[in-house]
Structure 1
């Protein structure tokens, strides 16, 4: 764990340059706007360790799978969001000597991610090998007002000399992905142009034909006044830029303002890209940096009004939760139903930027509560539009009907190449079905069921029907050869969670059918014909529901993770020598698979999803058994444990698990932040506060709160958007205060008591806090 960042409520601050931490900082200080994102690479050249990364949402490449063997059903490629044109580049040299922080003596280094206003800034002084000293101040952002625009303000001030400053702004398409399976470069140049003060570059992927045009324009000031300048143009393969030489004087600053528009063929016709990019760029250039920055700040302030969490008395926790919310809002906006949320977002290349089940299980609740319901709806429609691909995926694995949603995807086609995940981790189907329930339960938008939901539910149910088989030995239906959420156990039989979520899906599908029959009979008749729903399959689903096998340990009163789990040597994590942790970096895979240790919530994942089906005593028994055996080596683990710990009254454990998930990247708990932040688990951090400490649930169409105050905090507050009403919930040692920021009244349940919250009023509930 590396704690090198300064604590601050609204900023992430690095106040010392350490090359060993640079790639970690490049991840943490990333910026994005849902349309594009950029790691916190330096504008000037840097020859030290760095993961250069500029990414355009939805622009990906089918990188050929690299495995030592091949099995039927294997995907032929692993889809990857591409490292796209590097648009931030501004090379700087002094009297012909390049500014490179890997070769300079760096002092007064400060890097700040301003989360309140939405920008990245950096300043430092550097002593060059020649002995000359300069001061640099840089600020940049990607606009959430005009999504195609990125803007940079970069100032250089000589400290102890007069001389010649060379400024070289550029666009570089000669980039590659660090995780390329065969070190292939994925881009071809289509068009390039460089003129004085501007340049443009269009590149195309070698497969799938995604086109990206980047256009730049800049101006220069000295001592606060705009100057006229001459520039040499640079035009090389997949590289365009300008070179400007200026005389500079001691203590007088020179500032370049660089504006870039990035547009893609996903949104515009290929033959229009350059003109569209130029038009967008000119508007941004005319506004100027400060006006664009003010617009950015105002837009971010509006985002915070709906999604902020305030914690009093714990700066570490406050900084962490805002960092997580900030990165989530930078990653996904819901404007484009073709987009989803990759585990690393725009902060790195691990996991390829593809969609996993993380979205439905962890991210959906955040967007349900912090934005208009159409944002969360888009996440579901993303899966609906890929239903045909999911049916194809099932057929590739030999199924005659039904849909198997991919574990990893860009376009709906499975592109993960580890057999135990591609073939076995089928519980993802259940998470997608549960997301439909979660959305409808939270929003009350039952129209979604007839429009989109039933199609998905029926096809997933058909998959489960064919995936189980009847065991004459047990006299029950069983599910063989699966991997549950605990990926430290492969090819197991009767994973309790997988069996349980499969049956739940069948139950919910039948409930939705009954609802549509009774409430939308005409629409149901259409769907009945379209989906060819047969009485025989409905009877089969009911039979599976009634006769599914679930492994249990009767003596302990717990659900067994899978058949044979108790045959493993039962050792608790606390009894392991710490030098063995993390297991995935110290043990062989064979040893991990034979151990009882659990990567992340498995049985407990099911109890979290289906909490309303189980009493507190049952949840507690299973938590007491499984949590001590869990190493939490998945970023998705701690949040589920935190929420369940709060549910059963383990408040210290809930707080411990919260801190682990909240500062996972800021403190580099898993020693892997350098390849990107854990974006999807950040939604779990929000869940830990709102669902865990706030005890927020939706029961029978009503918002329910059962909050407690962590002993380390003086108070905390959060906001939730519920069915068009924005509520602010303040929890202190004395009371719970609910402010209704909407006009309409709303009845909610607090500590099992129904309370009417009038529109635009504040209601105080006294002395009922859990402690």
Structure 2
């Protein structure tokens, strides 16, 4: 049973009442970030109960040595993972000589925390009675600033309720941090220096092996009843730790406040020997604006994001809260400012999956960023993969491929494969298809054909070469087959002729060949340059097409469907409806052997192909395949409900589409998979956006034009979203009374609505 303790609210994530059992889950749900750094919602004051401390810096990683029982040729040597970074949020609090700790307080009441998504801050408040009898009220507000993205600020207020109080605030920096998911308990950070000067503190650290340099810094101001105070302070310095101590005496009813300006400066943007000076600049900029100024500018920055990215839903608060939570977390994770960065499946909310780049980015996230931001943001995601092309070629070479064939990694930080499960690393090769499809999807949506000539075609050629070499000619079938793979359904490993993989291979080859032909006609000079650079001949392309035109696809005449893989019908075909609920999720109760022999599907597999390549199939074919495969799908991947929601909506099965939508939008808020304490599912959140825009809204791009087939769940009165289509902003509103379209732009826009062509004129 999913948990439901988050209060329904259209703009905020709210928890009321302190429950130690929910602390780690809430640390994930209330996480904050600004694209450059982020952190779990750990308490600032000490907490001796169970907690998962986590602070992360975008692009900073460590190659943790792979831990496997035995080694295989081609295995990645390292598992690159996001690092738990030095902690700057900490503020020890002592009240009349006793440390404030919610785990040891005699009583905690009126506990409340709120993630305000509209204005971009995290606030927590509570009343506590300490064992010494002192009652205090605490309110803490934390901001990671979007514009000054090296800077965070904490406004920590303590009010004495029942007696006078001596408050000691001890803000600190802690560089002695480790990862919970370390393979070998290696030391990830080397502390280079700990220094202080005039209320300012700095810890200079460097990652082992990768040699990323960061400076973690802080400066604090003290206020009493909102007036600045200047108490004397002492400092405590250790090898990896720095703490300042400020003593404030307040009368009953008075409030003492500590404002902590802190964050990271990183060698991505500064020379290592200038990090401390850069930190001083960040402190000065933050204190010049002040807490209220930073809070106001943060609200303004988020207002600008919401103006474009918001989806409004009337009549269903939980659905509204769900989609805004997903949009908020996506923007906290990645803003497209730096082409060196990408989108980890957990973002800044946890360490699982190593914080690395998966095929999720191309398959699920790219459409969100294309439609809600300037197209350059999505282009940066493609450039990220282009910049890793040589590494992808090297990854393929390690597995025995040649001639510039590329296999993009399943998991990466720098282009090298760093996944350490053989059935994924070697066999889940369909990820190559998502890289190619993203190029097609980007060009289709933005009309930016220049990308293919500049960078994209080189990637497509390398991927086509891989597929041509990976296919095997079967004299028995007189077809090309692809053996020993894992499809999107990771509950089947080492299968032959996964339909999705085979179809993807065929499509990739034919798309690459068509783009080569197009470039030869439209840009002959670029065509010649690329053919020479890649040493590609017309004869080689002919060999590709020989494979793609004669690809084998497993098919059942009995069921009139494509088979997920050759042996799927050999399984005992018991549907999920007949599966004992006590055995769910099966990945937590069954052996892997039992899972592999079962018919159960982790996420869309054949239906993933019908989603990507829908123009190749009829509505009737989709319906047959949906009816066959969905009953065997356990949806134990976060990426599963969104695709099924889109397909159900296309089939006009709105109740089912709505159920899947609610599951994908509230996957973490209601903890469907019983794992949110490990972090939120950031990349699948883009699928939530797709469920509304492509599912209920029915948005597609065909022949350079937008098409819509709007539908509305019975639970909703109205919904609306905006898309940035080739520089023009189109707002789509769907209600029970009908549909409306509002255009902000310079030229009329021709669209299709349920097959009928409409011309929308700008309203501005």
Cα offset for 1:624?
0.3
Decide whether the 8 Å contact of 1:196 with 1:233 is kept in 2.
no
- CA RMSD after TM alignment: 0.8
Structure-2 separation of matches of 1:280 and 1:169: 18
Structure-2 separation of matches of 1:613 and 1:163: 72
Cα offset for 1:744?
2.5
Match of 2:93 in 1: 92
Structure-1 separation of matches of 2:159 and 2:209: 45
Cα offset for 1:229?
1.2
Structure-2 separation of matches of 1:215 and 1:178: 23
| 4+ residue runs over 6 A deviation | none
Decide whether the 8 Å contact of 2:96 with 2:134 is kept in 1.
no
Is 2:415 the partner of 1:412?
Answer: yes
Is 2:521 the partner of 1:518?
Answer: yes
Match of 1:764 in 2: none
Cα offset for 1:263?
0.8
Structure-2 separation of matches of 1:468 and 1:638: 31
The count of corresponding residues between Structure 1 and Structure 2 is 761
- With structure 1 as the length reference, what TM-score do the two structures score? 0.98
Match of 2:573 in 1: 570
Aligned runs of 1:519-668 on 2, under 5 Å?
519-668=522-671
Structure-2 separation of matches of 1:307 and 1:50: 33
Match of 1:299 in 2: 301
Structure-2 separation of matches of 1:40 and 1:346: 10
SS of the residue aligned with 1:126?
A: strand
Match of 1:446 in 2: 449
Match of 1:209 in 2: 211
Aligned runs of 1:174-213 on 2, under 5 Å?
174-213=176-215
SS of the residue aligned with 2:402?
A: coil
Cα offset for 1:195?
3.5
Structure-1 separation of matches of 2:150 and 2:475: 61
Is 2:725 the partner of 1:722?
Answer: yes
Structure-2 separation of matches of 1:631 and 1:215: 46
SS of the residue aligned with 1:322?
A: helix
Structure-1 separation of matches of 2:186 and 2:546: 52
Residue deviations 1:687-736, cap 9 Å, x none? 00000000000000001110101011001111111000111111000110
Match of 1:326 in 2: 328
Cα offset for 1:183?
2.2
Residue deviations 1:122-177, cap 9 Å, x none? 10001111121110011011000111010010000111111311100111111110
Q: Determine which of 424, 431, 434 is the counterpart of 2:434.
A: 431
Aligned runs of 1:673-692 on 2, under 5 Å?
673-692=676-695
SS of the residue aligned with 2:383?
A: helix
Cα offset for 1:741?
2.1
- With structure 2 as the length reference, what TM-score do the two structures score? 0.99
Is 2:169 the partner of 1:167?
Answer: yes
Structure-2 separation of matches of 1:33 and 1:237: 29
Match of 1:127 in 2: 129
Decide whether the 8 Å contact of 1:743 with 1:760 is kept in 2.
no
Is 2:716 the partner of 1:733?
Answer: no
Aligned runs of 1:277-316 on 2, under 5 Å?
277-316=279-318
Match of 2:57 in 1: 56
Cα offset for 1:227?
1.0
Aligned runs of 1:72-111 on 2, under 5 Å?
72-104=73-105, 105-111=107-113
Cα offset for 1:444?
0.3
Structure-2 separation of matches of 1:48 and 1:350: 21
Structure-1 separation of matches of 2:127 and 2:454: 59
Match of 1:16 in 2: 17
Structure-1 separation of matches of 2:706 and 2:413: 34
Is 2:702 the partner of 1:699?
Answer: yes
Cα offset for 1:196?
4.2
Residue deviations 1:391-435, cap 9 Å, x none? 000001111230000000000000000000000000000010000
Aligned runs of 1:338-377 on 2, under 5 Å?
338-377=340-379
Decide whether the 8 Å contact of 1:341 with 1:359 is kept in 2.
yes
Cα offset for 1:542?
1.3
Unpaired stretches in structure 2, ≥5 consecutive residues: none
Cα offset for 1:544?
1.1
Cα offset for 1:463?
0.4
Cα offset for 1:60?
0.3
Structure-2 separation of matches of 1:78 and 1:16: 39
Match of 1:477 in 2: 480
Unpaired stretches in structure 1, ≥5 consecutive residues: 762-771
Cα offset for 1:575?
0.5
Decide whether the 8 Å contact of 1:309 with 1:717 is kept in 2.
yes
Match of 1:765 in 2: none
Cα offset for 1:651?
1.2
Structure-2 separation of matches of 1:443 and 1:752: 22
Structure-2 separation of matches of 1:184 and 1:127: 40
Decide whether the 8 Å contact of 1:217 with 1:285 is kept in 2.
no
Residue deviations 1:256-284, cap 9 Å, x none? 11101411112111111111111121111
Residue deviations 1:577-612, cap 9 Å, x none? 101110001111000000111000000000100001
Structure-1 separation of matches of 2:637 and 2:755: 34
Structure-1 separation of matches of 2:644 and 2:409: 26
Decide whether the 8 Å contact of 1:507 with 1:545 is kept in 2.
yes
Decide whether the 8 Å contact of 1:8 with 1:319 is kept in 2.
yes
